[in-house]
Each structure stands twice: as structure tokens, then as C-alpha cells.
Chain A
Amino acid sequence: MQTKRQKFKESYLLYSFKRDKVAMVSFTILTIFLLAALFAPVLAPYDPYDTASIDIMDSEIPPSWVADGDSRFFLGTDIMGRDLLSTMLYGLRISVMIGIGAVILQAIIGIGVGLVSGYMGGKVDAILMRIADVQLSFSTLMVAIIVSAIVQLTFGVGRYEQLAVPLLVVIIGIAEWPQYARTVRASVLGEKNKEYVEAARVIGLDSKRIMFSHILPNSLSPVLVISTVQVANAVMSEAALSFLGLGMPVSRPSIGSLINAGFEYIFSGAWWLTFFPAILLIIFILVINLLGDWLRDVLNPKLYKG
């Protein structure tokens, strides 16, 4: 009997991963980023949320290697005197949290709707898919503007700052679930006419069982692929919303709100405030997308290279 570990060692997944340098580099960078985000409180030299430790006299110090730089602040400080590196680590943490949270929400709604829609067909399918179409015709930004405006009005700006993370998860999650629903539905439509589904019905299993334990596991590989891309998309959406001032407040910045905050000072010469968060965001999105591409190729049996 092979152990799981041995099986993994001999798997095609690992084999093709080892042969693909782009995938390996992307994976390494992504792992470093995720670890950095996870351990931000440990790694960051300063705590950007601790107002007591911040000195306004330290504001707008350029990175340490530039003239006028301060060796205490490697990437410089922002206008409030916060260490940029620490703020970015915390920001990455918030961005990743919102990204993954939103994708989980999208996946739950989207997979459920797609599965029911594809399996049931007929009127149920038509209604659910039209709902998805309607949802897609609202842009994420529009939904975000309306929802955050309503929440800010009802709860006040102070409360909004506390609610921002779950709120953004819900907004991005709701706005993007049709992607999942469509992908899952397409793949369920392909699976449901296969003979093993007929066989499951002949055995006397009920529809719920057939949907969730027979069809769903067979439809998951495209879901895996779009999940990577969707995390990248969700992080981007969050950055875009924050850039427009609809996302995370400056007191608890995400990468997007850092870029936004820095953007106002770019003409006064404080380029690093926008530059480093922007680079971080670009690399983060890029490696996720590269990994997604690799995963898509690996999971596609038609591209099997042996």
C-alpha cells in the first residue's frame, strides 16, 4: 500500500512542477508573500497600528539608501510617520485576507448555484443563470459604492472602519460569484450525461447525493484554476476600491489604500509611498496568475506532456 506521501512524490503534479521554472519561482515568491502576510506582526519592525510609537516628526523620510534616508526605516515612512515596510506587511495581510475571504464566499455561492443550475436544468437553470447575468451587469465598483455609502450612512464612519474587512469580503464575493456559477455549470453540464451519473441514479441515490458526491468532485478542476485567478482578481478589486477611497480606511491600510494615500504626495517628491506598495501588488498578482496558468495546463489532460 502506497502512502499518501509516496503517491504525491510520484505524482504528475509534482513532476511537472519541478520541470517548470516559472511555476517554481512563482510558488516560492507567493509562499514568501503569504508567510510574510501571516507573520506580519512578528516580522514588521514597527507596529503601524500603535499610534503611541509613531512620531509625526519622522514623516516622509525617504528609503534608507537615498540621501536624507534614515537607517531606522528601510523603505522610508509615510506622511504620518509610519514605517512603510511595516505598513506594507500589514497591508498585504489585509489584502490577502480580503482576497481569500471573498473567493471563499464566491466559491460557496457560485458552486452551489452552478451545481443546482446545471443539474436541474430547465426553468431552475434559466432563472438562476439570469440572476447571474443581472449580477454580472452590476460592476463591482457600483455595488461597492452603493453598499459602502449605505453602511457609512447608517453606522457612521467610525463604525465603518471596523466593518470594512467583512464588508469588502461580502461586496467582492457577491459581485463575482457568477464567474464560479458559470464555470461550474458548464462543467456539470458535461458531467451529468456521463454514464456514472446514470449508474448512480440506477443504484437508487437521490439527487442531492448525486450532485454533491458524484458530480461535484468531477467538476472541480476548472474551479481550482479559476480560484487562483479569482484570488488575484479579488485582491485587485480590493486595491481598486481602496484606491478610490471606498475600501480600507487609511488607519488600517491595505495595499490599495497605501497606493492611494501615497498617490496624493507623488508630485511632492515622495515617490516611494506609491512605488513600493504598487510593486508589491504587481508582483503578488503576477505570481498568482502565473501559477494559475501552470495549474490550468497541468490539470488539462489534453496538454499532458508525459
Chain B
Amino acid sequence: MALLEVKNLEVSFALRHGDLVALNDVSFTLDKRERLGVVGESGAGKSVTGFAVINLISKPGRITKGEILFDGKRLDQFSEHEMRSIRGNHISMIFQDPMMTLNPVLTVGTQMVETLRAHRKISKAEAEKIAIKKLELVHIPSPERRLSQYPHEFSGGMRQRIIIAIALLTDPAIIIADEPTTALDVTIQAEIMDLLLELCDAQDMALMLITHDLGVVAEVTERVMVMYAGKVIETAKTIDLVRNPRHPYTKGLINALPGHGECDQENRLQQIPGTMPNLTEIAPGCSFHPRCDYCQDICRSTVPELRQIGESKERWVSCHLVGKGQL
């Protein structure tokens, strides 16, 4: 049984003129120690998926359909109180901007001790010991001294390490990382990604990496899920997806990556024309059809199902044309 299983998840936001469906029929699984990438444009529903897993969708949003099973338990039916014992304890989350996610007026030590003591009945001294150990894990030098410092005394990369250390405090089974490196510069990004990889291995954690950076996904994850306008449109082993994307949108994403070749007038970056539709005014049929080069009549009228394609059990694509000799 998978550690985390999401079935037919639908999340809606109640707006003045009706419901906006932010996630539509999203299903995926995450096994123990597995690293799953979630890729897509801004607004595709990646972050909402992450928040839905820990049942923390901000109002007016809510889970309207589907199941979230963690260790066989229905998280979507948990009470707020029960959920609190899951969040930060069994499932931790890391955010994009390390400058913003630490409380500026509390010392790093206070914030770490507080997190631990919210979940464990331990003394302050014991909590500090664990905090120091975790800071060592994320390679913060002289952690004892660092505990009494405030967030502004750290650099961006250091802060993200501290946030990772906070996420690790309770030895969670899953870490959801929501664009953990977007706000950092490139060299630090690589360091942080390496650190995450190393920790997942060493601590037996599963990782759900939400990002729009296919490069990072290719480097870190084992499996990847591509989202578009609130739907999963392709999922596959990372290596297969990067080498051989099937869905036209995924193809577009891969083609939009700068290669190592020379960059000249003929070799310009290819981009996907247009932008993702506003979720309130999605056209009928496949949500990608207005931007798709291969669009046919069926795409305009019928919503494609997520189907298994080819030999690999892992590869599912939601496109009418894929695997029918046309794509």
C-alpha cells in the first residue's frame, strides 16, 4: 500500500459568481521513500495539491470530492485537532521564500523548540538537544550558538536550511517542498537540492517536490506528475518523461528548456504560445486545446481521460491523440 494516496481529489473555491474548481479529479500516490515531482505553470494547482494533502486550503477553498489516504487513514475526514497532529509531525512542508517563513521576532531556537513541543511531551532541554542534532544534519556550523540567533542574522541559504531542519524535527514520513529553491540564487539552489536528496535518503522520507523547474525535477525526483489547469495531464518516471514526453504540453515544456547548444537566431528557445486559461472560463473539451499545435475536433468537444500509454505502468497521459498513431 502506498504511503500517501490521493483519489479523485477535487478542490473548489467558492466565489461570488459560483465555484471555481482549482483541482479537478487529481489522483496520485506516493510510496515510502519515493520522490515525486509536481510540475506545472503558475496557477496549475501544484501548491493547492500540496496544501490539500495537509488539509490546509485557505478559505473560501475546500475539498469538494475525493479521498486523501495517509497510511490508510482518511485525512480529508480528520478533524482540525486530529489534523494538527499530522501537520508538522508526519507530514512537513517547506515553502518558497525562506525570508518570509521564519517569524522575525523569535529566535531560531524558540521556533524549533516550539514545534517539537507542540507534538512531543518533552522538556525544553531535550527539545533543544534534538534541534541541535537536526541543525547539524542540515550542515549548520556551531548549532548551539545559532539557536539563540534571530532569522535576520542568517543568509537566505542558511534560513532555508533552518526551515528544512524545522521540517525534519519530528522525523516526518513525507516532506512537501513547495518550490523550495525558487527564491534562492543558483549555486545555493543546487546546495539545497543536494541537501534535500541526501536527507530523504538518510531519513527514509518521501518527498513531494512542487516546482516549475524541470531541471530540478530531472535531477531530484524519480517520478513526475505534470499539471495543467487543475488537472494531471501526464505522469511518468522522470527519466522517461524528460527523454520522451508524450503530451503536447509536456513536449512544449521540455522544448522550452534552454539546451547546451549554441544560442543563435535559428536556435532560439521555443515557447508554448498563449497562457493558461483563467480557471473560471475553461473552454469545453481538453483544457489545453487552445494552445495545442495538434488540436483536432475531438479536443474541442470532449474532455480527455487519463489513460495508461505504452508498456510502462507508470506512464499515464490525458490526451485524445497520444498513442493513436497521431502523436
Contacts and interface: CB of A to CB of B under 8 A. Distances in A.
Interface stretch (B95-103, B204-212, B293-301): B95-103
A213 interface: yes
Contacts of B54: 202
Contacts of A195: 95, 97, 100-101
B260 interface: no
15 contacts: A1-B148, A195-B97, A195-B100, A196-B100, A199-B102, A201-B87, A202-B95, A203-B87, A203-B166, A204-B86, A205-B84, A206-B118, A209-B114, A213-B106, A218-B105
Contacts of A214: 103, 106
Interface string B99-128: 011111110000000110011000000000
B89 interface: yes
Q: Determine the interface band of chain A, counting residues with CB < 8 A from chain B.
A: 10 to 19
A20 interface: no
B87 A209 contact: no
Contacts of A201: 56, 87
B145 A217 contact: no
Most buried by A among B95, B103, B115: B103
A14 interface: no
A202 B93 contact: yes
Contacts of A194: 100
B84 A196 contact: no
Nearest to A193: B58
Contact of A202 (B92, B106, B145): B92
Interface string B183-206: 000000000000000000000000
A210 to B, nearest CB: 10
Contact of A203 (B97, B100, B106, B115): B115
B104 A196 contact: yes
Q: Which 9 pairs show the lowest CB-CB distances between chains A and B?
A: A204-B88, A203-B88, A195-B100, A204-B87, A199-B101, A217-B105, A202-B93, A196-B103, A204-B84
A204 B85 contact: yes
A200 B87 contact: no
A205 B118 CA distance: 6
Interface string B141-164: 000010010000000000000010
Nearest to A196: B103
B105 A202 contact: no
A204 B54 CA distance: 10
Given A206-B84, A217-B105, A199 B95 contact: yes
B8 to A, nearest CB: 24
Nearest to A199: B101
Nearest to B176: A202
Given A202-B87, A205-B118, 5 more contacts: A199-B101, A200-B103, A203-B115, A204-B87, A214-B106
B285 to A, nearest CB: 36
Interface of A: 1, 194-196, 198-206, 209, 213-214, 217-218
Nearest to B81: A206
A194 B99 CA distance: 11
Contacts of B85: 204
A1 B100 contact: no
Contacts of B88: 202-205
B254 to A, nearest CB: 31
Contacts of A199: 93, 95, 101-102, 163
Nearest to B178: A202
Nearest to A207: B80
A202 B103 contact: no
A213 B103 CA distance: 10
A205 B114 contact: yes
A196 B101 contact: yes
Nearest to A217: B105
A204 B166 CA distance: 12
Nearest to A219: B105
B95 A213 contact: no
Nearest to B54: A202
B310 to A, nearest CB: 38
Contacts of B100: 194-196
Contacts of B84: 204-206
Given A1-B145, A195-B95, A203 B118 contact: yes
Nearest to A220: B105
Most buried by B among A199, A202, A214: A202
Contacts of B114: 205, 209, 213
A204 B119 contact: yes
A201 to B, nearest CB: 6
A7 to B, nearest CB: 11
A212 B101 CA distance: 17
B197 to A, nearest CB: 22
A209 B117 CA distance: 12
A211 to B, nearest CB: 13
A197 B119 CA distance: 18
Contacts of A206: 84, 118
Nearest to A221: B105
A209 B118 CA distance: 10
Nearest to B93: A202
A1 B153 CA distance: 13
Nearest to A203: B88
Contact of B56 (A202, A209, A217): A202
Nearest to B116: A203
Contacts of A196: 100-104
A206 B87 CA distance: 11
A198 B89 CA distance: 16
A262 to B, nearest CB: 48
Contacts of A204: 84-89, 115, 118-119
A83 to B, nearest CB: 49
